[in-house]
Amino acid sequence: MAPLKTLLLVVVVLLPVANACQPPRTLHVPVFHRDALFPPPPSAKRGSLLRQRLAADAARYASLVDATGRLHSPVFSGIPFESGEYFALVGVGTPSTKAMLVIDTGSDLVWLQCSPCRHCYAQKGQVFDPRRSSTYRRVPCSSPQCRALRFPGCDSGGSGGGCRYMVAYGDGSSSTGDLATDKLAFANYTYINNVTLGCGRDNEGLFDSAAGLLGVGRGKISISTQVAPAYGNVFEYCLGDRTSRSTHSSYLVFGRTPELTSTAFTALLSNPRRPSLYYVDMAGFSVGGERVTGFSNASLALDPATGRGGVVVDSGTAISRFARDAYAALRDAFDARAHAAGMRKLAGEYSVFDACYDLRGRPAASAPPIVLHFAGGADMALPPENYFLPMDGGRRRASSYRCLGFEAADDGLSVIGNVQQQGFRVVFDVEKERIGFAPNGCTS
């Protein structure tokens, strides 16, 4: 982030055939928040953890807005629990090795650390060893999959050798290794053969704990594109309560599921300069039932000529960021309502947040309601826990402190992060060119 991401038959005419074993109508993937898998130590203070996570979140946002358009993958802190990403549980190879992969709507390549490794960071669980997988195959340098990479490379044998990949991130983190195919196993004993993936031999930087990345962007080699011939070019997820230790409330599903009547759909926009990202046409905000004014609508709009601006829905970014004038108008409208409700605003800033309050015994649910508005009349009414976030600054009565959980974006790109998506079923329907939001989606 600068400052919360598509295998069978023909993947785009470029990619080879992948096969599913008696594929069901949908492909279900268990999903877990980082803290549910790797809970912070009991001695960890909420305030310090929050500051660490926000620092990592800033690095993620920075990678999304990089002007080169190359950095569409997440960057995570080097210490566990410093960011708010979600993991998908996937089996890799034959026999299967379980891998916890970060779900990333902002990148395409599926990759994981591989043994033997010239340089690997510390991950939780077993590192995948391709030598023990009977279904692992290197991808030739002359293959369509290799040509689909942004920065393809070749072994010393030239075009007749194996293909190599390289991905780099905004803070200098990177992964380099062999491009290959192998079998991925999902829930209910469903598996898919010949999935194109990266086998990372040199992985440096701040990816701690995860085995790798599950890229579900819109590109040619993302997992969502690879499974599209069998399941359709549509997937959805629900990201459960980040503060819960439950491992059963989140999910990721490829394929079309029964549509909830509460789903609000808005048009999915495309940016030729940033083709992996999921853009939406955001029309503004309401606070306390009144539309927020005082900012230019162009602040949230995508400029198709330059590729700048716009609003993306991102699973790897935690905190939502909006163009500075839009954020300021939202903050000021919220502040006026909070003041009228008797909430005392704290002096100064808390980390990146500049609107924090002492509730003085009032419940957090009394926060002024916020609604995000999208083109076509789609609304996303946020529950208070998705935007009025608890803080702990080491002060007395810190348990009563809450901050407005948004930030200003100075780099043009606005992002709807996973904290604000929490609890919603989010449908990425590329086939029908739309994105949908359904409240209380994790229990549906």
- What single string gives the DSSP state of each residue in 383-431? -GGGTEEE---S-TTGGGEEEE-EEEESSS-EEE-HHHHTT-EEEEETT
List all residues 6 or more positions away from 363 whose beta carbon is below 8 Å from its beta carbon. none
Pick the catalytic residue: 104, 171, 335, 411? 104
Pick the catalytic residue: 57, 108, 208, 314? 314
Count CA atoms closer than 13 A to 44's CA, side-chain side: 16
Give bridge partners of residue 235 from the DSSP assignment. Answer: 254, 428
In 3D, which of 32, 123, 31, 41 has the Cα closest to residue 81? 41
Residue 66 burial (CB < 10 Å; 0-12/13-18/19+)? middle
Tokens of 257: 């599921």
Tokens of 384: 């208070």
Which pTM was predicted?
A: 0.85
Return the pLDDT at 59. 62
Tokens of 160: 């007749």
Rounded distance between C-alpha atoms, residue 186 and residue 177, angstroms: 24
| Residue owning tokens 């394929």 | 255
| 415 in Cβ contact with 64 (< 8 Å) | yes
Return the pLDDT at 208. 65
Alpha carbon separation from 342 to 198, 338, 400 (Å, rounded): 54, 6, 13
Count CA atoms closer than 13 A to 225's CA, side-chain side: 27
Q: Is 104 a catalytic residue?
A: yes
Return the pLDDT at 157. 65
Rounded distance between C-alpha atoms, residue 167 and residue 71, angstroms: 8
Cis peptide before 272 (omega within 30 of 0): no
List all residues 6 or more positions away from 70 whose beta carbon is below 8 Å from its beta carbon. 150, 151, 168
Q: Is 208 a catalytic residue?
A: no
Q: What are the E-state strand segments in 216-269?
A: 234-238, 250-254, 264-269
List all residues 6 or more positions away from 83 whose beta carbon is below 8 Å from its beta carbon. 34, 52, 53, 56, 57, 60, 76, 77, 318
Return the pLDDT at 444. 61
Structural domains in the chain, sorted by start:
27-254 (2.40.70.10), 264-443 (2.40.70.10)
Return the pLDDT at 4. 35
Rounded distance between C-alpha atoms, residue 317 and residue 415, angstroms: 8
H/E stretch holding 65 reads: helix 46-65
Q: What letters, b where the CB count within 10 A reaches 16 and e where it falls short, cover 119-147?
A: ebbebeeebbebeebebbebbbbebbbbe
**Low-confidence spans in the chain with pLDDT less than 50:** 1-18, 20-22, 46-49, 67-83, 394, 396
